[in-house]
C-alpha cells in the first residue's frame, strides 16, 4: 500500500468515493419519476453522472427544468437516510492540505456539503467566524 506520494492536488468524486449516497439518490429519482409518470428504472439510469437540471432536460424537455431540478435537489437535501461515509474518508481528507484537494461532482456545493456533514465529515474551518468551505466543488470544469 502506498502511504506517501507527490502531486499538485487530488480530485475526489463525492458519491461512491467519499460518501455512499446511492440509496438516497435513487430513492428521490424514483419518487420524482413516479410523480411524472416516467419509468423509474430508466430515470435512475439516466440520472447517474448528470447534473440534476441536465437529467430533467433529457427526460422532460418541455418542463420547467429549473423548477424540477430544485424540487429534486430539495428532496435529496432532506433525504439523508442511508448515507454512509466511505472507509477512511475523514482520515484522508484530514491529511491533505486544504488548498490541494477538491470534490468533482455533478451535484451542487450545497448537496455535497450536506452529504458530507450528514456522515460527520468536517467541511468547514475556523477563522474569521464565517464558515469557510474547506473544498471547492468543481462542476463541468477543471481548475488548477
Active site residues per annotation: 13, 15
Name the one residue in this structure whose C-alpha cell is 490541494. 100
Place of cell 506517501: 4
The three-point CA angle 49-51-52 to 5° equals 115
Longest pairwise C-alpha distance within the chain: 51
Q: What is the DSSP letter of 48?
A: T
Amino acid at each position: 500500500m502506498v502511504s506517501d506520494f507527490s502531486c499538485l492536488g487530488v480530485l475526489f468524486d463525492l458519491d461512491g468515493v467519499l460518501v455512499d449516497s446511492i440509496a438516497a439518490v435513487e430513492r428521490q429519482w424514483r419518487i420524482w419519476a413516479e410523480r411524472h409518470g416516467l419509468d423509474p428504472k430508466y430515470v435512475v439510469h439516466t440520472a447517474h453522472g448528470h447534473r440534476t437540471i441536465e437529467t430533467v432536460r433529457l427526460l422532460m424537455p418541455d418542463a420547467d427544468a429549473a423548477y424540477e431540478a430544485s424540487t429534486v435537489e430539495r428532496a435529496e437535501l432532506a433525504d439523508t437516510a442511508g448515507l454512509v461515509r466511505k472507509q477512511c474518508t475523514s482520515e484522508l481528507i484530514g491529511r491533505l492540505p486544504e488548498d490541494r484537494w477538491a470534490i468533482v461532482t455533478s451535484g451542487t456545493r450545497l448537496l455535497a456539503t450536506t452529504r458530507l456533514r450528514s456522515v460527520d465529515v468536517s467541511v468547514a474551518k475556523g477563522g474569521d467566524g464565517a464558515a469557510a468551505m474547506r473544498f471547492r466543488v468543481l462542476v463541468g470544469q477543471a481548475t488548477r
